[in-house]
Amino acid sequence: MNNYAFIDGVNLHLTYEFLGWKLDYRKLLNYLRRTQNVDVAYYFVGKIPGNENIYAKLDSYGYTLRLKEPTLFSTKEDYCPYCQKVLAPEISRHKSDIDSFMTLQVMADLSIFDKAVIITSDGDFDNLVTRLLQRNKLQLVFAPCKDGCSGLLVSAARGRIAFIDEFKNELEKI
Task: Render each residue's pLDDT in the chain as its tens digit; 174 residues.
Answer: 899 999 999 899 888 888 888 999 999 999 999 999 999 999 999 998 899 999 999 999 999 999 998 877 677 778 788 888 877 777 766 666 789 999 999 999 999 999 999 999 999 999 999 999 999 999 999 999 999 899 999 999 999 999 999 999 999 998
> 3-state SS of the chain?
CCEEEEEEHHHHHHHHHHHCCCECHHHHHHHHHHHHCEEEEEEEEECCCCCHHHHHHHHHHCCEEEEECCEEEECCCEECCCCCCEEECCCEEEECCCHHHHHHHHHHHCCCCCCEEEECCCHHHHHHHHHHHHCCCEEEEEECCCCCCCHHHHHHHCCCEEEHHHHHHHHECC
Determine contact, residues 75/90, Cβ cutoff 8 Å: yes
Q: How far apart are CA 8 and CA 74, in angstroms?
A: 23
What's the angle, vertex CA 91, arms to CA 87 and CA 92, rounded to 5? Answer: 165
pLDDT, position 69: 85
Residue in 19, 4, 9 with CA at minimum distance from that of residue 148: 19
Beta-carbon count within 10 A of 163 CB: 17
Domain assignments of the chain as residue spans, ordered by start: 3-19+29-72+90-114+123-171
pLDDT, position 94: 63
Q: 5-28 b/e with 16+ CB inside 10 Å = b?
A: bbbbbbbbbebbeeeeeebbbbbb
CATH number for 3-19+29-72+90-114+123-171 (one of 3.40.50.970, 3.40.50.720, 3.40.50.1010, 3.30.470.10): it is: 3.40.50.1010
pTM of the model: 0.87
pLDDT, position 119: 98
Residue in 106, 151, 113, 158 with CA at minimum distance from that of residue 128: 106
Q: How far apart are CA 157 and CA 56, in angstroms?
A: 32
Terminal-residue alpha carbon distance, the chain = 31
pLDDT, position 24: 96
